[in-house]
Structure 1
């Protein structure tokens, strides 16, 4: 089963976030709860955890602004 990793809505008024960094390499094995990536909004910088165990396929590019809900990775 493939889990989609999307830009989360971290605040009521949040519409976009900038992907600052990936904490893992493309193709790496990840575990649920481990730091996956960091995003920046106009109000804060937040580290987002992996939602599941598996191998990550990174789609999103660092230093790019994305709308909430945009697909940035898959875990399978």
Structure 2
């Protein structure tokens, strides 16, 4: 079963974030909790861990801004 990778809400007022970097390549096998991507908001960068283990399928583009809750990838 695939697990969506959604932009998390990291603060009370956060509405969007910038996908600064993927820390794993598309198609890589990741374990739950592995650092997966970097999300920037209000000039703070946060490493976001993988929500599950499996194969990473990226759909979000580095440098783009995404609303909280937007799916930027999946783990299959």
TM-score range, shorter chain: over 0.9
RMSD (Å), alpha carbons: 0.7
TM-score, length-scaled by structure 2: 0.97
Write the mapping of 1:53-64 to structure 2, written as runs, cut at 5 A: 53-64=53-64
CA distance in 2, matches of 1:46, 1:14: 13
Unaligned runs of 5+ in 1: none
- How far off is 1:43 after superposition? 4.7
Partner of 2:70: 70
Instruction: Flag as ranges the 4+ runs of structure 1 deviating above 3 A.
Output: none
TM-score, length-scaled by structure 1: 0.97
Total equivalences in the alignment: 76
CA distance in 1, matches of 2:74, 2:45: 22
Partner of 1:29: 29
